[in-house]
Structure 1
Amino acid sequence: MNKKSLIRNIFSSIVFLAPIKTFYKIYKEKSSDGYQSIPYVVTLLSASLQLYYGVLKANATMTIIISAGGVVIELAYLVLFSIYASTEEKIYTAKLMLFDIGGFGGTMALTLLLLKGQHRVNVVGWIYATFSLVAFAVPLSIMWRVIKTRSVEFMPFTTSLLVTLSAITWFFYGLVVKDLKIAVPNAVGLLVGLAQIILYMIYKYGNKKMEETNERNNP
């Protein structure tokens, strides 16, 4: 494995672990109020499809390992989230999980029954790319919440940064290997990640300066 591949795989692995701080907070407070399960459900489906794509594609051992680890981690997040979620949120999350199971199971069944060889690989790759786009688009609702509340409490900077770095490495990897199924969704992920970082800077440090100004004007 060359250095570029190692860096890309490291970033990809860390992205799955980035929400640990959020879930430690949920565990500590014994409540998941204020958080949503959608990002983790969508990421679970994306990781599952990536795993399937890796199994079908030749020479994709690291993709299989990383995506399999991602599936396990996202499942752990969702279990912890559900333990401390309200009854309403538990039911909503369960419905989303049924969608995940149906989407992944249906994709496997149809592609295994109806497609063969490289054609199957290509179709699964584009399905994976589509859900990767959805996964990258999910933070838009969180960004809107930041703008509305003028608070970055539910949009951790570390997560945004790691997602951006991972998207950068995978985007350029997709360009190098000429795989649009990898490059396109990560180009979108890069833009969304950069937008999150900019938004974080605006409201985190903008609010801080405003508070300091108010303190000076109102001693």
Structure 2
Amino acid sequence: MDAFSDPRFAQIFGISGNVVSFMVYLAPVPTFYRIIKKKSTEGFQSIPYSVALFSSMLLLYYAFLKTNVFMLVTINTIGCVIESIYLIIYLIYAPKSAKVFTIKLLLLFNSGAYGLIVVITYVLSKGDMRVTIVGWICAVFSVCVFAAPLSIIRLVIKTKSVEYMPFTLSLALTVSAFMWGFYGLALGDYFVATPNVLGILFGFTQMILYYFYKNKSQVILWDEKLKESNNGIQMSKTEKQENCVVDLNQPDQVNAINVKNNNPIIVPSGELNV
């Protein structure tokens, strides 16, 4: 580990981590552009953005206590601003029920829980002990966040489809975890390094699953489209057969079919001899 215990390594990985994490923060921009354009949240939930904001707030608090971790301060300040903008847009366009839920979530989780952590750590600890306690809180929360994709991994294995696991986002999160993991190692800060090492493992797992199941997903999708096409053909045939069933003793039906088929010929009822 001594090979990485160099301030230059910390700076390189810190800057790289800032760039990659900034790109990850911008990933939901198309979603919110769509929300603004359609003036509707369309069933999207606010929980991921609330959690991301809480994570940035915690790490920012830890960075101020730790000192000499400027790279953590910059990216988590940016994260707080971007996630706050997302949540404001969400609140503007969300339906009443979702809006009420989001406000409650922000008050109880982002304000209440965060405020409680700050107050308790200031009252019950000081100095290095305070840094250690907040570091543990950040590490545990980060592990929980990194473990969240496990449900997606299970879904991919169950459905044999990578539809719900975009490769680009998985790759970006893995690279981000890689940069911050080595940033933590370079600083000797295991509260930063450990969760990101787990993030790297989860990220590689997702990418391996993606390459394993991506071709199967295409086969499944093709089969579904083929079934839909066959069903459409069957329905079309059935409709045609139904349209051809006509009582020839009822001239109104014959005339109606001729009109429907753009046939200008109207057969007189007297010529229908069967």
**Aligned counterpart for 1:25 among listed residues 29, 34, 37:** 34
Report the AA paired with residue 188 of structure 1.
Answer: L
Report the AA paired with residue 61 of structure 1.
Answer: F
Task: State the partner residue of 2:121.
Answer: 111
**Aligned counterpart for 2:12 among listed residues 3, 27, 38:** 3
Equivalent residues of 1:34, 1:154 under 8 A apart: no
What are the residue-to-residue correspondences of 1:33-182 with 2, within 5 Å? 33-98=42-107, 99-143=109-153, 155-182=165-192
Give the Å deviation of 1:102: 1.0
What are the Cα deviations for residues 73-111 of structure 1, in whole angstroms up to 9, with x where unaligned?
111111222333333322222222121211111111111
Select between 188-197 and 123-132 the one with higher mean Cα deviation: 188-197
Task: Using structure 2 for the length normalisation, give the TM-score.
Answer: 0.68
Report the AA paired with residue 39 of structure 1.
Answer: P
Give the Å deviation of 1:148: 6.8
- In 2, distance between residues paired with 1:4 and 1:60? 12
Shift in alpha-carbon separation, 1:159–1:184, aligned structure 2, 3 A: same
Task: State the partner residue of 2:250.
Answer: none
Equivalent residues of 1:54, 1:63 under 8 A apart: yes
- In 1, distance between residues paired with 2:214 and 2:118? 43
Task: State the partner residue of 2:196.
Answer: 186
**Which stretches in structure 2 are left out of the alignment for 5+ residues?**
1-7, 231-274
What value does the CA root-mean-square deviation take over the aligned residues? 3.0
Secondary structure of 1:184's match? helix
Report the AA paired with residue 47 of structure 1.
Answer: S
Equivalent residues of 2:162, 2:217 under 8 A apart: no
Equivalent residues of 1:42, 1:134 under 8 A apart: no
- In 2, distance between residues paired with 1:87 and 1:155? 30
Task: Using structure 1 for the length normalisation, give the TM-score.
Answer: 0.82
Report the AA paired with residue 20 of structure 1.
Answer: V
Q: Percent identity?
A: 46
Shift in alpha-carbon separation, 1:155–1:40, aligned structure 2, 3 A: farther
**Which stretches in structure 1 are left out of the alignment for 5+ residues?**
none
- In 1, distance between residues paired with 2:211 and 2:34? 22
- In 2, distance between residues paired with 1:86 and 1:148? 33
